[in-house]
Amino acid sequence: MKHIIYLLLVVMAMSMTSCATILTPDGQQITFIAPPKTRIYDGGKLIARTNKDGVAFANIDKKLHSKTLVAEKAGFQTTPFELSATFNYVSLGNLIIGGGIGFGVDLLTGKICKWKDNIIEIKLFPDRAGFAIAQGKDSILLPNDDENDDDQEDDDV
């Protein structure tokens, strides 16, 4: 009888656990590839800045829905892009074990989803307002000298 009680306690404890909540971290590391010194914002908060090789990393908390991030660089158009959420199959472990409560915990914590892509390539387009047109036989676009302003910003991201 004592063994049955222990077995029931173990089954109850397992049904209250949450596979994705236990097995996966709160955030997911995303790699951004964009021109050097591109700044990536999430809701107006700077989350990453590409290095001289055009690469940046950010740990972004998982959500149940996709989110829009914004890339900015002097001389280029502000570029919004989507970070897409997808189903995290680790959370199915709860249904297999019989832990409907655990599945609900994964749902409430947002760990039932994960970010679809771990690497995001960002294409930036020149901002005509950020360029001066040189007059002459062959007109060309010359970037304004706003790049020096970027060098004075903190690199603490």
Q: Rounded to whole angstroms, how far apart are CA atoms 16 and 134?
A: 68
- Tell me the pLDDT tens digit for each residue of 90-130: 666 666 665 666 666 666 666 677 778 889 999 999 987 65
pLDDT higher for 148 or 114?
A: 114
- Domain positions in the chain: 2-126
* pLDDT higher than threshold 90 for residue 52: yes
Q: What share of the chain is helix, strand, coil (3-state, %, to 5)?
A: 30, 35, 35
Pairing between β-strand 27-33 and β-strand 79-83 as defined by DSSP bridges: unpaired
DSSP state of 100: H
Contacts of residue 144, defined as CB under 8 A and 6 or more positions apart, other chains included, come to 74, 75, 130, 131, 132
Architecture of the domain delimited by 2-126: Sandwich (2.60)
Pairing between β-strand 27-33 and β-strand 119-121 as defined by DSSP bridges: parallel
36-48 CB burial, b ≥16 within 10 A, e <16? ebbbbbbeeeebb
Q: How confident is the model at residue 87 (pLDDT cuts 50, 70, 90)?
A: confident
pLDDT at 51: 97
Residue with tokens 């472990």: 93
pLDDT at 125: 93
